Structure 1
């Protein structure tokens, strides 16, 4: 992987930042992206560069197709290639379907699903031209099963599974692989943020949400770690995984078993 270049959306914290750290450790130059405090983002970007790679930051808004296209073009121009694309940007909103705000539906679908389409659309021609590419979409156990109160998120993640399979077929002869990782509950800012909404929706305490809602779904009774997810992504990027494409891979502590 030494010298290859990766674009990772939603990579200023959580799973996305773990991807960036893992790839940087293998010598991959990076374009990170996401929201956050400017000083905190700069600190993470500098820490990545301290590993001996180039690390750029794009503030591209994942709800704006033109900004996504510009992010991919900038990575190609400044880093020389887009060898790896990891679509990881995501938000969550929890509410019963009849109370689900229209604007929340639009935002979740835009950031969790539509942004991945736009990034893939602009990255695939570059990978075909180079004769090599890896696309990894962060899906979720919710790409395979549903939970109440998460109509937009579940719809988006099911959509990510379909996007993954379709693009994998379209690029199957181009030395480009396209896969989705489906973690169970990972302790990230996104999961932490949804706990109060879930508690309110279900009328239980936040501790009960963790014990009886989140980890109840995972037979291991443990949160998946960001490092575990990043390790799987590294394998999928390697040439040892060249025959794995169109896969929707569970990493959920047995949840979907």
Structure 2
């Protein structure tokens, strides 16, 4: 008689994106790079969008042996018409590109505030707008917006980033409500601090804003409210993005998948 422990357990459905076209913004590094490689590994043809031509070239070379393919597209997302155009015909859209500046409100440069909102809120709107006709036409689509714990909570000195992420949460939910009848889901992924150049570059600005030495910023500021005292890895975020594209997540829409090490549990 077969022991119960020897019986096969339930199998999670594999992510198979063969024949699908995905688009990832901010693809040259960090979370975007990890998402691009993960979706290509699942068989998707991925349009890797970034303004960093050299980073895209390295990414495309690294992806050579994956099941899918990576197509580098050098696009500056402040060109909103170009953003909308590049999204046409995509089945999976990952809005990831972002930038950060840490300054008190009274010292925050208005031009930087405008640029952050353009890249992190207006461009996702235009990308979604460009992608939806194809998604609606085929009755299937996946929109994943890489938000942040700062889409759910605020921190001082990050007016533009927090405003953009809060706006992205609302945009994502609106897309979910409108897309549900067409087989299109829209969700946010909300990581805490991720081991990326964007976070590493904050240390100097945070040190100046908080009056602390850089070696204390990680523990005393960035990870202060996290129960898990480490940075999350880009590959962990990419797995959450992939999950939302899979068959087991077809009923998840308008949600925010939080990966914050317990930050918002306070």
Instruction: Describe the superposition over 1:136-171 as per-residue Cα deviations: whole angstroms up to 9, x where unpaired.
Output: 000000001100000110010000110011110001
For 1:108-119, list aligned pairs within 5 A: 108-119=116-127
**How far, CA to CA, are the matches of 1:90 and 1:237 in structure 2?**
21
**How far, CA to CA, are the matches of 1:85 and 1:107 in structure 2?**
21
Secondary structure in structure 1 of the residue aligned to 2:35: helix
Secondary structure in structure 1 of the residue aligned to 2:182: coil
Q: Is 1:103 aligned with 2:111?
A: yes
Could you tell me which residue of structure 2 aligns to residue 156 of structure 1? Answer: 164
Could you tell me which residue of structure 2 aligns to residue 203 of structure 1? Answer: 211
Instruction: Describe the superposition over 1:208-240 as per-residue Cα deviations: whole angstroms up to 9, x where unpaired.
Output: 111100111211111111111111111100111
**How far, CA to CA, are the matches of 2:155 and 2:137 in structure 1?**
41
**How far, CA to CA, are the matches of 1:32 and 1:141 in structure 2?**
25
Shift of 1:91: 0.3
**How far, CA to CA, are the matches of 2:187 and 2:244 in structure 1?**
8
**How far, CA to CA, are the matches of 1:112 and 1:59 in structure 2?**
17
Q: Is 1:15 aligned with 2:23?
A: no
C-alpha distance 108-134 of structure 1, shift in aligned 2 (>3 A): same
**How far, CA to CA, are the matches of 2:172 and 2:57 in structure 1?**
31
Q: Which moved more, 1:58-67 or 1:162-171?
A: 58-67
For 1:168-179, list aligned pairs within 5 A: 168-179=176-187
- From 230, 238, 241, give the equivalent of 1:230: 238
Shift of 1:252: 0.3
Secondary structure in structure 2 of the residue aligned to 1:200: helix
Shift of 1:57: 1.2
Q: Which moved more, 1:132-141 or 1:50-59?
A: 50-59
**How far, CA to CA, are the matches of 2:165 and 2:60 in structure 1?**
28
**How far, CA to CA, are the matches of 1:180 and 1:64 in structure 2?**
23
- From 10, 21, 25, give the equivalent of 2:41: 25
Could you tell me which residue of structure 1 aligns to residue 10 of structure 2? Answer: none
For 1:1-257, list aligned pairs within 5 A: 1-36=17-52, 38-73=53-88, 76=89, 82-257=90-265
Secondary structure in structure 1 of the residue aligned to 2:46: strand
5+ residue gaps, structure 1, are 77-81
Shift of 1:41: 2.2
Task: Extract structure 1 runs of 4+ deviating beyond 3 A.
Answer: none
Instruction: Describe the superposition over 1:35-64 as per-residue Cα deviations: whole angstroms up to 9, x where unpaired.
Output: 32x344212112223314222111111111
Q: Would you say the 8 A contact 2:87–2:128 is kept in 1?
A: no
Shift of 1:180: 0.2
Q: Would you say the 8 A contact 2:103–2:205 is kept in 1?
A: yes
Instruction: Compare CA radii of gyration and give the structure with the larger one.
Output: 2
Could you tell me which residue of structure 2 aligns to residue 79 of structure 1? Answer: none
**How far, CA to CA, are the matches of 1:40 and 1:237 in structure 2?**
25
Q: Would you say the 8 A contact 2:37–2:63 is kept in 1?
A: yes
RMSD: 1.1
Q: Would you say the 8 A contact 2:43–2:69 is kept in 1?
A: no
